[in-house]
Amino acid sequence: MRLSRYFLPTLKETPHEAQIVSHQLMLRAGMIRQASAGIYNWLPLGHAVMQNIEQIVREEQNRAGANELLMPTIQSAELWRQSGRYEDYGKEMLRVRDRHDREMLYGPTNEELITDIFKSGAKSYRDVPALLYQFQWKFRDEVRPRFGVMRGREFLMKDCYSFDADYEGAMAAYRKMFVAYLRTFARMNLKAIPVEAESGPIGGNLSHEFCVLADTGETELFTHRDLIDYDILDRPVDYDTDLRSIVDYWTSHYARTDDTHEQAVFEEQVPADQRVQRRGIEVGHIFYFGTKYSEPLEAYISTREGESVPVHMGSYGIGVSRLVGAIIEAFHDEAGIIWPESVAPFRVGLVNIRSTDSDCRATCDDLHERLQDAGISVLYDDTDESPGAKFAQMDLIGLPWQIVVGPRGVQAGTVELKHRATGERQELSPESALAKLMA
C-alpha cells in the first residue's frame, strides 16, 4: 500500500483530551477520531488492527468448536422484561422507541436474544452441547466515557454463549473457553492471567476475568510467577479431551486484582520469591450462570430419559475494540506504538527518504512489489515529506519492521532494515532484507 493513497492523518501534537497513553497514541497515529462522546470512527490503520485481532479471536473460537452467527444491534424490550433485566440495566441501556412507538433497545449484551434463538432451534439432548458466538457492536451509555476505546460507549465485543444439558456439561464448555482465551491472548503476545471475579449484571455462580499485563494498566494484579511463566502455546490443545488439568493448574495458583486481593492470603499461599505484583487490564470475562435465563425465557430441552429441563448456560466475552488499546498499553515506547507481528496493520514500513531520486524510487518500487508478491503486507512511504518526519511517523505507527532506502545506500547496493521493538539496524542488500523478512 502506498502511503500517498492511504488515509493516515497522523498528528504531531498529543491531543490534550487524551489522558492515557493508548488514547494519545491512537489519536496521534491516525487510528481513530472521536465521532461523539465515547463513540469513535476507526480510521484505516486502527480498523486494520481491529480486524487482525478479530481474526485471531475467531480462529480460536472456531478451534474450540464454537459456531459464529450474528444478532442485530437493535432488540425488542420484550425479552428483557421476561428475564427481568429491562429495569435492572438502568441508564446504561440505550432505549429507543421506533416509529410505531414500540420499546426497543441497543443491546449492551445478548443473553436474552441468544437464549431465544437457541430455544427456537433446539429441542433435545441431541442439540447440546452448543457454543454460539458473534462479533457485534454493543452500546453502554456510560455517564463519563473516557480513556478512548478503553471505556467507550459503542464498542466491539466477541460474545459467546454455551448451552448444555447439565452442570457438568456447562463446566466442560467453561473450560473450553477458559483455554481458548489463554490461547487467544497469547497469540497477541499478551500475557493473560485469569482472576476469579464477581458476576455483576450478567449474574451467576462462577466467573473469571482475564487481565493482560501492561505497566500502564488500570488494575493492580497479584499472582504467582508460575502463571507468568506458563506458555499455553507450547503444546497443542485437543478440545475433545478433558481440559480440567489445564484449568486446575491456573485456578490453583493465587491470582487476584486489587478488588479482592488479601495480602495475608497472598503471603501464605505464595513463597516470597514467587510473588508477582504487576499492572493489568481486563480484556475478557467468562461466566457460568446455570438456568438464570433459560428458566424465565423457557429454554427447555428433553433429556434422553424424556424429562424436560432448562438448559445450563454460560457467556464469554472479549472486548475486541478495547484490546486495540490494551495492546498499545502493553507495547509502546517514547516514540510510539510497537505492534506485535500478529496484529500489526502492516508488517513492514518501506521508507523512501528521497522520493525525488529515481534510483531510490526504482529500488523502493521493486521492493514494494516483491514484498506484496511474497504476501508480506507493507506500507510504502512514497511521499515527499522530510526524512525526519517519515522516521518519526513510522516509529509512531509502530510497524514491526522498517526498510529505509536512501541515495547513499542505493549507490552502495544496500538498504537499512530496522526492527522497531529492539531498535536494531542492519545494512543489507535488498535481497538479504527480503530474505530475512520471509524467513
Task: Give least dist CB 365 to its own copies, A.
Answer: 14
**Binding residue (CB under 8 A) for its own copies from 59, 63, 76, 124:** 76
Kindly state the smallest distance separating residue 224's Cβ from its own copies, in Å. 36
- Do residues 175 and 169 touch, judged by C-beta distance below 8 A? no
Exposure on the CB side of residue 364, measured as CA atoms within 13 A: 29
Does 67 participate in binding its own copies (rule CB under 8 A)?
yes
- 127 vs 416, beta carbon nearer its own copies: 127
In angstroms, the CA 382 to CA 365 distance is 9
Q: Which is nearer to its own copies, 275 or 354 (CB)?
A: 354
In the list 13, 70, 268, 424, the residue contacting its own copies (rule: CB under 8 A) is: 70
Q: Rounded to the nearest whole angstrom, what is the least distance from the CB of residue 69 to its own copies in the complex?
A: 5
Nearer to its own copies, 120 or 358 (CB): 120
Q: Is 235 in the site for its own copies (CB under 8 A)?
A: no
Backbone torsions φ then ψ of 99, nearest 5 degrees = -65, -20
Which of 22, 61, 75, 207 forms a contact with its own copies (CB under 8 A)?
75
What cell numbers appear for 119 in the block? 430455544
- Given candidates 15, 39, 196, 198, which one binds its own copies under the rule CB under 8 A? 39
**Looking at 36, 245, 263, 422, which residue binds its own copies (CB under 8 A)?**
36
Q: Shortest gap between Cβ of 121 and its own copies (angstroms)?
A: 3
Between the CA of residue 220 and those of 201, 223, 231, 257, what are the distances in Å? 23, 10, 22, 6
Say how many C-beta atoms besides its own lie within 10 A of residue 184's C-beta: 28
Q: Answer yes or no: are the C-beta atoms of 389 and 16 closer than 8 Å.
A: no
CB-neighbour burial class of residue 357 (10 A; exposed 0-12, middle 13-18, buried 19+): middle
Query: Which of 20, 27, 18 shows the shortest CA–CA distance to 46?
Result: 27
CA–CA gap between residue 235 and residue 186 (Å, rounded): 12
| Binding of its own copies by 71 (CB under 8 A) | yes
Q: Which of 14, 35, 374, 435 binds its own copies (CB under 8 A)?
A: 35
Q: Is 89 left (phi over 0), alpha (psi -120 to 50) or beta?
A: alpha
Least separation in angstroms between residue 283's CB and its own copies is 20
Instruction: Count residues binding its own copies (CB under 8 A).
Output: 54
Instruction: Say if CB 38 and CB 148 are below 8 A apart.
Output: no
258 contact partners, CB below 8 Å, separation of at least 6: 219, 220, 222
Write down the least CB distance from residue 217 to its own copies, Å: 26
* Minimal distance, residue 141 CB to its own copies, in Å: 5
Considering the complex, what minimum distance in angstroms separates the CB of residue 87 from its own copies?
A: 15
* Cα–Cα nearest to 375, from 437, 299, 307: 437
Q: Closest separation between CB of residue 293 and its own copies, Å?
A: 16
Tell me which H or E stretch contains 389.
helix 387-397
The binder of its own copies chosen from 3, 43, 53, 193 (CB under 8 A): 43
Kindly tell me which of 230 and 300 has the beta carbon lying closer to its own copies. Answer: 300
Could you say which residues in the range 151-180 bind its own copies, by CB under 8 A?
Answer: 153-154
Restricting to residues 96-155, which ones interact with its own copies according to CB under 8 A? 96, 98-99, 102, 104, 106, 113, 116-117, 120-122, 130, 132, 137, 139, 141, 143, 153-154
Question: Nearest Cα to 45, choosing from 34, 31, 33?
Answer: 31
The torsion angles phi and psi of 221, rounded to 5 degrees, stand at -120, 135
Which of positions 3-22 make contact with its own copies (CB under 8 A)? 5-7, 9
Residue type, 140: R
Q: Which residues contact 39 (CB under 8 A, 6 or more apart)?
A: 145, 152, 153, 154
- Closer residue to its own copies in complex, CB, 182/324: 324
What nine digits make up the cell of 289?
450462570
Sole residue written with cell 497469540? 187
The Cα–Cα gap between 106 and 74 comes to: 5
Contact segment (CB under 8 A) with its own copies among 47-55, 341-349, 369-377, 410-418 equals 47-55
Smallest gap from Cβ 12 to its own copies, in A, equals 13
**Does 85 contact its own copies by CB under 8 A?**
no
Report the interface residues with its own copies, using CB under 8 A: 5-7, 9, 30, 33, 35-36, 39-44, 46-48, 50, 65, 67-76, 78, 91-92, 94-96, 98-99, 102, 104, 106, 113, 116-117, 120-122, 130, 132, 137, 139, 141, 143, 153-154
